[in-house]
Structure 1
Amino acid sequence: MDGPVRTYGDELAVVTVTYSPGRTLDAFLDSLNAATDRPVQVVLADNGSVDGAPERAAEARENVTLLRIGENVGYGAGANRGVAELGPEVGWVIVANPDLEWGPGSIDALLAAAARHPRAGALGPLIREPSGEVYPSARELPSLGAGAGHAVIGTVWPDNPWTRAYRRPEEPAERTAGWLSGSCLLLRRAAFDSVDGFDSRYFMYFEDVDLGERIGKAGWQNVYVPSAEVVHLGGVSTGKPEVSARMLAEHHRSAYRYLADRHPGPRWAPVRAALRAGLGVRSRLATRSAA
């Protein structure tokens, strides 16, 4: 496997990146108690919240630590900061959004799957929307052709073959995947460290795609574990119209970065230019629609 593999203990920690998470943080922490029988420490890597929710949580709960980053450095960079705060006794780290509710036993189910898959570097649960619908959280890595097809016509033809291939319908079976949703990941810390964590150039979006690809290339596996379930409530901090518009723009910037990084050099310059132009138009149209 690529990169240094450090030795860690077997303790468990949860890192969540907060940015004015509101009441969802209480639901996240309350449901965590039933998700595992193991003791768990929680690090709130705070990207500059102004609602007081992270401070209240840290004051009220003995197992919760507040890490004040002081500015919004993005999801991946915030998660990296949180993981870096953990001691060597922690060998298992969950990186999760603060707008999740944990299903009973969900973390223990992920840990049990990790024991069945000794090469698993990242494991992800089945993620449900509040409506009960299953979110496609375990996907294939996007190729240039499939990624372009999904990006260009996915909004007007959601069931197109490129989008179907990219999203890959959820199956009620434990399996490996190209990448797993970063909204909830159990990470073997040695694997996370061996690829230097998240790429902090991604402010938001595609940092999980990039991580999943690098974990696979380093010889680890991304494992989907549908026996573990969580509910993704939807973030308070990203629900405001002005924030949603910014996130749409970030999504398209990250998509370009991911595809451009994998097609470097003069040979691919025309393709990168076409990608930048096409994603730029799509971003402007999506942002106007959201506004």
Structure 2
Amino acid sequence: MTQEALRPLVVVTVTYSPGPHLERFLASLSLATDRPVTVVMADNGSVDGAPEEAEQRYPNVRLLRIGANLGYGSAVNRGVAAYHNDDFDPEFFVVANPDVQWGPGSIDVLLEAAARWPKAGALGPLIRDPDGSVYPSARQQPSLVRGGMHAVVGPFWKSNPWTATYRQDHEQPSERPVGWLSGSCLLLRHAAFDQINGFDERYFMYMEDVDLGDRLGRTGWQNIYVPAAEVLHYKGHSTGRDPARNLAAHHRSTYTFLADRYPASWQAPLRWTIRGALAVRAGLVVGSSRRKQAKGRR
């Protein structure tokens, strides 16, 4: 093995009181690659002690205190910047949620795929939900019609054709370029990430991965889905703590994404329409979520 291959691969994970998920993440990581790994926990203000305990237990884990809850993309950017130096792999790094459980060889399979796709800026594995079903983590970019119809009718008409096309529901798992990949687990190329200045920090949560994939594609890089690599995603880190708040954040991020794609002054009426439609939809789904929460507390 060459000295280059011996350089640790940095794995950045964003923690926010991750609880027992973090231990499963770290314990399974040894199965994901034969390479030396340094885990950077970019911590957004945990109060459960899990990141501190992990740093004590695992010699390859580093705790980077952000100082406040800046959101997912901002924390990743700081984690990457703090450990982007000659001591670590200069070409690739990994970003993953702390509620991911690594499949055997999953990172090595992504690295092997990267060698086959020299223009790959991001590569993502097949992601399974806890029940074993495949999560649609490799999707087309949400065009105004496709993304809009998915957003408007998706919650009420699950089998609608716009959602199926956007999520690529009828595609068989195959290694291929896609519009964007779930940010819950990504192998990223430093050169590509640096060229687009990392995650857009206007996104506190949600849509930052859609935006990342879009900007990579616009600058000539590819987003490559690699289903031969598998991880399990428990989705229990922070998104489930306040569903209503998270739904509202999702709608705000969706507007930011779409407004950026239609920035001209003559497109202002379109932006107003998008904002209004999203506000109505947010009111409906957030209200429904809060009613369910209230009923659950009775």
What TM-score does the superposition give when structure 1 sets the normalisation length?
A: 0.94
The DSSP-based 3-state class of the residue aligned with 1:21 is coil
* Residue identity opposite 1:33 in structure 2: S
State the partner residue of 1:231. 232
Q: CA deviation at 1:219?
A: 1.2
Task: Spell out the pairing of 1:66-105 with structure 2 (5 A cutoff).
Answer: 66-86=63-83, 87-88=85-86, 89-90=88-89, 91-105=91-105
- 3-state SS of 2:31 partner: coil
Give 1:10 shift.
Answer: 6.1
The amino acid of 1:182's aligned partner reads: G
Q: Which shows bigger deviation, 270-279 or 85-94?
A: 85-94
DSSP 3-state at the match of 1:34: helix
Deviation larger for 200-209 or 81-90: 81-90
Answering whether residue 65 of structure 2 is matched by residue 64 of structure 1, we say no
Deviation at 1:83, TM superposition (A): 0.3
1:112 matched to 2:112: yes
Q: Distance in 1 between matches of 2:218 and 2:11?
A: 25
What is the distance in 1 between the residues matched to 2:50 and 2:278? 36
The alpha carbon displacement at 1:237 in A equals 2.6
Deviation of residue 238 (structure 1)? 2.5
Partner of 2:47: 50
Distance 1:131 1:38 in 2: 30
Mapped partners of 1:71, 1:284: distance in 2: 28
Residue identity over aligned pairs, in percent, reads: 62
In structure 2, the residue matched to 1:206 is: 207
User: How far, CA to CA, are the matches of 1:259 and 1:239 in structure 2?
Assistant: 25
Conservation of the 8 A alpha-carbon contact between 1:11 and 1:92: no
TM-superposed deviation, 1:213: 0.9
What is the alpha-carbon distance in structure 1 between the residues aligned to residue 43 and residue 269 of structure 2? 40
Q: Distance in 2 between matches of 1:217 and 1:149?
A: 23
- Letter in structure 1 aligned against 2:255: Y
1: CA distance between counterparts of 2:266 and 2:120? 35
The equivalent of 2:21 in structure 1 is 24
Q: Counterpart of 2:161?
A: 161
Match of 1:33, SS? helix
1:143 aligned onto 2:143: yes
Deviations, residues 5-50 of structure 1 (Å, cap 9, x unaligned): xxxx964110000111100000000000110000000000000011
Structure 1 distance, partners of 2:43, 2:157, is 38
Contact 2:7 2:36 in 1 (8 A): no
Separation of aligned partners in 1, 2:173 and 2:7: 29
TM-score normalised to the size of structure 2? 0.92
Give, in angstroms, the shift of residue 211 of structure 1: 0.5
1:287 aligns with 2:286: yes
2:260 & 2:173 partners in 1: Cα distance? 33
Please, which runs of 5 or more residues in structure 2 have no aligned partner? Answer: 1-5, 291-298
Flag the structure with more relative contact order, 1 or 2, with Cα contacts below 8 A and sequence separation at least 6. Answer: 1
**Separation (CA, whole Å) in 1 of partners of 2:168 and 2:255:** 21
- Structure 1 gap ranges (5+): 1-8
> Aligned ranges for residues 260-275 of structure 1 at < 5 Å?
260-275=259-274
What is the aligned-residue RMSD (CA, Å)?
Answer: 1.2
Q: CA deviation at 1:265?
A: 2.2
Q: In structure 1, what is the Cα distance between the partners aligned to 2:220 and 2:124?
A: 18
- Alpha-carbon deviation of 1:186? 0.2
2:186 matched residue in structure 1 = 185
Shift of the alpha carbon at 1:120? 0.8
Aligned equivalents of 2:149, 2:266: Cα separation in 1: 21
1:179 CA displacement: 0.6
SS of aligned partner of 1:235: coil
Report the count of equivalent residues: 281
Whole-Å separation in 1 of the counterparts to 2:58 and 2:150: 43
Name segments (4+ residues, structure 1) moved above 3 Å: none
SS in structure 2 opposite 1:44?
strand
Counterpart AA for 2:270: V
Q: Distance in 1 between matches of 2:7 and 2:120?
A: 15
The structural deviation recorded for 1:246 is 1.1
